[in-house]
């Protein structure tokens, strides 16, 4: 995975990852990207639901949204996905940290053409709510027209990972009797809440039942 001047990590360079599988894994584990564009010289950054599709990310939203409309015009975009994996309690505040996996994609977005939009939305749906596509009716023509899907290629990317315990500075006066370690963090599901208008006796579908175990499977290993 090539590192450019724009994607080179200058601070804590050992956290930079150039393994394409890690890039894919991080993108496949997240749900929301923070997408930035420049408008009138000022950056704006907002959360957008996304999915990885091969060697690109798909972003989707309403045709009425300002951010994606700006992104669709071919201006440079940054797409960042961050997974927060833990709070690192070192014996000093200076060495305290967070464990995380983060990907930043730089580039320009292109609109997915109408003929391919349903396929792209299916890919988004299968990422965000696996199995749901086949449980509900297909999108209507009107719904497709009201939805914008953008594709940003994974050409220029930066991947950073911190997945270790608390670092120790042997000569820096830390008190060994102070506990040090990691509090792992994870996204978790709570019990599903059925809509008030759901008819009695409609069971929770497979897609919803699967959501909880999905996040469990995505928890990273803590490295020594």
At 14 the three-state DSSP class reads helix
- Name residues contacting its own copies, limited to 112-151 (CB under 8 A): 121, 125, 128-129, 132-133, 135-137, 139-140, 143, 146-147
Dmax (CA) of the chain? 67
Member of 4, 55, 172, 223 binding its own copies (CB under 8 A): 172
Nearer to its own copies, 18 or 209 (CB): 209
Member of 3, 16, 22, 165 binding its own copies (CB under 8 A): 165
The single residue listed with the structure tokens 């009797």 is: 177
- At 43, give phi and psi (nearest 5°): -75, 140
CB 91: neighbour CB atoms within 10 A? 20
Member of 21, 93, 141, 171 binding its own copies (CB under 8 A): 93
- Provide the β-strand partners of residue 47: 34
Q: Does residue 21 bind its own copies (CB under 8 A)?
A: no
H helix or E strand, kind and range, residue 52 = strand 42-53
Q: Which stretch binds its own copies (CB under 8 A): 16-24, 51-59, 109-117, 189-197?
A: 189-197
Q: Does residue 73 bind its own copies (CB under 8 A)?
A: no
Nearer to its own copies, 114 or 143 (CB): 143
- At 209, give phi and psi (nearest 5°): -60, -30
């Amino acid at each position: 995975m090539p590192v450019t001047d724009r994607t080179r990590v200058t601070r804590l360079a050992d956290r930079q990852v150039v393994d394409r599988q890690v890039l894919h894994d991080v993108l496949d584990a997240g749900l929301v990207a923070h997408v930035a564009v420049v408008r009138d010289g000022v950056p704006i950054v907002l959360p957008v639901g996304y999915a990885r599709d091969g060697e690109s990310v798909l972003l989707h939203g309403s045709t009425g949204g300002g951010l994606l409309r700006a992104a669709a015009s071919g201006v440079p975009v940054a797409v960042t996905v961050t997974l927060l994996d833990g709070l690192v309690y070192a014996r000093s505040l200076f060495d305290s940290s967070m464990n995380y996996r983060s990907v930043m994609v730089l580039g320009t977005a292109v609109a997915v053409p109408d003929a391919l939009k349903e396929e792209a939305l299916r890919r988004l749906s299968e990422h965000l709510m696996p199995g749901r596509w086949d449980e509900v009716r297909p999108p209507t023509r009107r719904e497709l027209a009201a939805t914008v899907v953008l594709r940003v290629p994974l050409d220029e990317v930066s991947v950073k990972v911190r997945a270790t315990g608390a670092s120790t500075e042997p000569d820096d006066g830390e008190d060994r009797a102070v506990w040090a370690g990691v509090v792992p963090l994870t996204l978790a599901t709570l019990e599903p809440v059925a809509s008030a208008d759901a008819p009695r006796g409609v069971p929770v579908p497979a897609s919803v039942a699967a959501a909880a175990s999905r996040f469990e499977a995505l928890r990273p290993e803590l490295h020594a």
